[in-house]
Amino acid sequence: MERFAFVLYRPLQLVPVLFGVSAVSFLLVHSIPGDPVRILLGTRATAEVLAKVRAQYGLDEPLIVQYFFFLKNLAAGEFGRSIIFKTPVMDLVATRISPTLFLLSYAVLLSVLLAVALATWAALRRGRFADQVIRLYSTAGLGLPAFWLGIVLIILFSIRLGWFPVSGYGAHFFGHLHHLFLPAFTIALALSPVLIRNLRSSLLHEMESDYVVTARSRGLPGSWIFLRHVFRNSLIPTITLLGINVGWLIGGTVVVEQVFSVPGLGSLMVGSIFARDYLVVQAVTLIFACAVILTNFLVDIVTVALDPRIRL
């Protein structure tokens, strides 16, 4: 249990990082040249609204005071108002977050399935044709642009074969599964090469371990040894790798949402950039950063749970 003590300490260590992240998000918007109020509210706001916002954000105060206003507002869940949608940013985020979460989970699931299947197949058929092909995929695949892959998959599976819809989110759970399959699969195809390289190499290394010989000397069959010993040992570095790549995953989701017109946070962010809806950009950036921090924390917990040798 003491190995999990870090769960208590880590949030304290994360406080400076969280402050830093919020500072960067704050500075992002505040480095835009021009009148900050005009930037935040657009050209059509009235004088009273301008004055009210000036007061709320302390926009006439020095930068550091403005930062504290920003933090105070954050704590209250107040991200400001979107210029384009004319609603509080918080509400906007609340509606758009579920498609992104769904897509991310779906993508992770498919990536893991794909990586486990291909890496295992390659490790068990080491040196043979299947292994060579998979290794080629895991090297060439590093250069697969997710946005291009998405388009190729749409051409093949939506347009030519008609199996999946071209875009959108769909209604109800199964609608989501259907609409988001191609986007999630796109991300999985783009992420899995990295995972496959690592898992395959891990598997091969563990398969040569001494404890495998011990297991065989007890008459345990290869498949049993593979599942109960080799696999568990190999999984640990790969899960860590998956955690490290969560930033990449989120970035991939942003692009893929654009390709497939999925109404999630990613497409919201891209749209807001073009519309100069800076408060939305700031909010989404901050949320994504918090997601990365949280995920890294969770991955650390999972790693400690899986590997009894680790102390963090």
Closest CA to 211 of 187, 184, 186, 232: 232
Contacts of 253 (CB under 8 A, 6+ apart): 100, 103, 104, 107, 187, 264, 266
**Distance between alpha carbon 268 and the CA centroid of its chain, in Å?**
15
What's at 135, amino acid-wise? R
Q: Is 139 one of the binding residues for other proteins (CB under 8 A)? A: yes
Q: Select from 248, 263, 299, 300 the one that contacts other proteins (CB under 8 A).
A: 248
DSSP string computed for 69-133: HHHHHHHTT---B-TTT-SBHHHHHHHHHHHHHHHHHHHHHHHHHHHHHHHHHHHHTTTSHHHHH
Q: Select from 51, 113, 273, 298 the one that contacts other proteins (CB under 8 A).
A: 273
The answer to whether 53 and 59 are in contact (CB under 8 A) is yes
Q: Is 250 one of the binding residues for other proteins (CB under 8 A)? A: yes
Q: Select from 43, 143, 172, 173 the one that contacts other proteins (CB under 8 A).
A: 143
Q: Is 226 one of the binding residues for other proteins (CB under 8 A)? A: no
Q: Is 105 one of the binding residues for other proteins (CB under 8 A)? A: no
Q: Is 152 one of the binding residues for other proteins (CB under 8 A)? A: yes
| CA dist., res. 58 & res. 66, Å (int) | 5
Size of the site for other proteins (CB under 8 A): 73
Q: In 10 A of CB 29, how many CB atoms?
A: 18
Binding track, positions 23-62, relative to other proteins; x by CB under 8 A: xx---xx-xx------------------------------
Question: Among the candidate windows 46-54, 76-84, 92-100, 217-225, which touches other proteins by CB under 8 A?
Answer: 217-225
Distance of closest approach, residue 111 Cβ to other proteins, in angstroms: 16
Bridge partners of 166? none
Q: SS3 of 42, please? A: coil
Distance of closest approach, residue 260 Cβ to other proteins, in angstroms: 11
What's at 94, amino acid-wise? A
Q: Select from 258, 297, 299, 303 the one that contacts other proteins (CB under 8 A).
A: 258
Distance of closest approach, residue 95 Cβ to other proteins, in angstroms: 19
Binding track, positions 190-209, relative to other proteins; x by CB under 8 A: -------------------x
Q: Select from 113, 145, 227, 298 the one that contacts other proteins (CB under 8 A).
A: 145
Where are the extended beta strands (E) located within 145-298? none
Question: Among the candidate windows 46-54, 80-88, 179-187, 243-251, which touches other proteins by CB under 8 A?
Answer: 243-251
CA-based torsion, 103, 106, 109, 111: positive or negative? negative
Q: Select from 229, 238, 240, 279 the one that contacts other proteins (CB under 8 A).
A: 229
Q: What is the DSSP letter of 92?
A: H
